[in-house]
Chains A and B, each alone.
Chain A
Amino acid sequence: MDKNKKINLVIDSKQIETDEGKNILEVAKENGIPIPTLCYHSDLKNKASCRMCIVEIKGKRGFFTSCSTKAEDGMEIITISPDLLRARRTNLELLFAQHREECNDCVTSHNCHLLKMAKEMQVKIGGLPDRKTGYPVYEFGPSLIFDSSKCIDCGNCTEMCRKQGINFLEKRQKDTFYQVKPKLEENRDCIYCGQCLVHCPVGAFEAVGEFEQVEEPLKDKNKKVIFQFAPAIRTSIGEEFGLEPGKNMFGQLVAGIRKLGVDKVFDTSVAADITTIEEANELIERIKNKGVMPMFTSCCPAWVKYLEFYNPAYLSHLTTVRSPQIILGGLIKTYFAEKEGIDPKDIIVVSVMPCVAKKYEISREEMKIDGMRPVDYVLTTRELARLFYNHKIDFKNLKPEQPDDPLGIATGAGVIYGASGGVMESALRTAYYKITGKELENIEFESVRGMEGIKKAEVEIDGQKVKVAAVNGIANAQKILRELQLDSTAYDYVEVMACPGGCIGGGGQPVPTDKEIRQARAAGLYKIDKEKKIRLAHQSEIVKSIYKDFLGEKENVHKLCHTKYFPKKREVEIKE
Chain B
Amino acid sequence: MDKKEDMIAKIKEAGLTGRGGAGFPTGVKWEMVKSQKADKKYIICNGSEGEPGVFKDKYLLEKYPEVVVEGIKIALETVDHSLAYIYLNKEYYKQFSKKLEKLCDGLPIVIFEKKWGYLGGEETAVCEVIEGKRPIVRKKPPFPGESGLWGFPTLVNNVETFYHVGRIKEGNFKNTKFFCVSGDVKKECVWEFPAEYTIRQVLEETGNFPEFDFFVQAGGGASGEILLPSELDQEICGASSIIIFNKEKTDPYELMRKWAEFFLEENCDKCVPCREGVYRISEMVKTEKLDREFLNELFFVLENTSFCSLGRGVAVPFRSLINKVL
A and B associate? yes
B 267-303 binary contact with A (CB < 8 Å = 1; else 0) = 0111111011101100000000000000001101100
A51-B305, A131-B276 known; A90-B265 Cβ under 8 A: no
A178 neighbours in B (Cβ, 8 Å) = 134, 268-269
- Are B276 and A95 in contact, with the CB atoms below 8 A? yes
Instruction: Decide if A539 is an interface residue (CB 8 Å cutoff).
Output: no
- Are A91 and B264 in contact, with the CB atoms below 8 A? no
B304 neighbours in A (Cβ, 8 Å) = 62-63, 83, 87
A131-B279, A176-B264 known; A94-B269 Cβ under 8 A: no
- Are A153 and B269 in contact, with the CB atoms below 8 A? yes
Instruction: Decide if A560 is an interface residue (CB 8 Å cutoff).
Output: no
B264 neighbours in A (Cβ, 8 Å) = 176
Distance A90 CA – B139 CA, assembled complex (angstroms):
23
B270 neighbours in A (Cβ, 8 Å) = 47, 49, 155
- Are B307 and A94 in contact, with the CB atoms below 8 A? no
Instruction: Decide if A143 is an interface residue (CB 8 Å cutoff).
Output: no
Could you say which of A48, A50, A54, A87 contacts B139, with CB atoms under 8 Å apart?
A: A48
Which residues of A in the span 34-60 have a Cβ within 8 Å of any Cβ on B? 46-52, 54
- Are A63 and B269 in contact, with the CB atoms below 8 A? no
Distance A54 CA – B272 CA, assembled complex (angstroms):
13
B 303-320 binary contact with A (CB < 8 Å = 1; else 0) = 011110000000000000
- Are B276 and A94 in contact, with the CB atoms below 8 A? yes
- Are A94 and B277 in contact, with the CB atoms below 8 A? yes
Could you say which of A63, A83, A94 contacts B272, with CB atoms under 8 Å apart?
A: A94
Distance A51 CA – B139 CA, assembled complex (angstroms):
13
Instruction: Decide if A427 is an interface residue (CB 8 Å cutoff).
Output: no
- Are A68 and B139 in contact, with the CB atoms below 8 A? yes
B139 neighbours in A (Cβ, 8 Å) = 46, 48, 68
Interface SS of chain A: loop
- Are A97 and B305 in contact, with the CB atoms below 8 A? no
- Are A91 and B279 in contact, with the CB atoms below 8 A? no
B306 neighbours in A (Cβ, 8 Å) = 51
Distance A68 CA – B139 CA, assembled complex (angstroms):
8
Could you say which of A47, A90, A176, A177 contacts B300, with CB atoms under 8 Å apart?
A: A90
The smallest beta-carbon distance between B108 and chain A, in angstroms, is 32
Could you say which of B265, B268, B279, B297 contacts A86, with CB atoms under 8 Å apart?
A: B297
Question: Inter-chain contact count A-B, CB under 8 Å?
Answer: 68
The smallest beta-carbon distance between B11 and chain A, in angstroms, is 29
The smallest beta-carbon distance between B254 and chain A, in angstroms, is 18
- Are A87 and B276 in contact, with the CB atoms below 8 A? no
Instruction: Decide if A80 is an interface residue (CB 8 Å cutoff).
Output: no
- Are A91 and B269 in contact, with the CB atoms below 8 A? no
- Are B301 and A91 in contact, with the CB atoms below 8 A? yes
Chain B residue at smallest Cβ distance from A68: B139
Instruction: Decide if A98 is an interface residue (CB 8 Å cutoff).
Output: yes
A63 neighbours in B (Cβ, 8 Å) = 304-305
Instruction: Decide if A128 is an interface residue (CB 8 Å cutoff).
Output: yes
The smallest beta-carbon distance between A92 and chain B, in angstroms, is 9
A90-B298, A90-B300, A176-B265 known; A49-B305 Cβ under 8 A: no
Chain B residue at smallest Cβ distance from A152: B272
Which residues of A in the span 151-194 have a Cβ within 8 Å of any Cβ on B? 152-153, 155, 171, 176-178
Distance A83 CA – B301 CA, assembled complex (angstroms):
10
- Are A51 and B297 in contact, with the CB atoms below 8 A? no
A171 neighbours in B (Cβ, 8 Å) = 134, 269
A152 neighbours in B (Cβ, 8 Å) = 272
A54-B305, A131-B279 known; A91-B300 Cβ under 8 A: no
Q: With A48-B271, A49-B307, A90-B300 given, name 11 new contacts (CB 8 A).
A: A51-B273, A52-B272, A83-B304, A86-B300, A87-B301, A87-B305, A94-B273, A94-B276, A95-B276, A177-B269, A178-B134
Enumerate the 4 nearest inter-chain pairs by beta-carbon distance, A residue then B residue, closest first: A94-B276, A51-B305, A176-B264, A90-B297
Instruction: Give the A-binding residues of B (Cβ under 8 A).
Output: 134, 139, 261, 264-265, 268-273, 275-277, 279-280, 297-298, 300-301, 304-307
Instruction: Give the B-binding residues of A (Cβ under 8 A).
Output: 46-52, 54, 62-63, 68, 83, 86-87, 90-91, 94-95, 97-98, 128, 131, 152-153, 155, 171, 176-178
- 15 A–B contact pairs at CB < 8 A? A46-B139, A47-B270, A49-B271, A51-B271, A52-B272, A68-B139, A87-B304, A94-B272, A94-B276, A94-B280, A98-B276, A131-B276, A155-B270, A171-B134, A176-B264
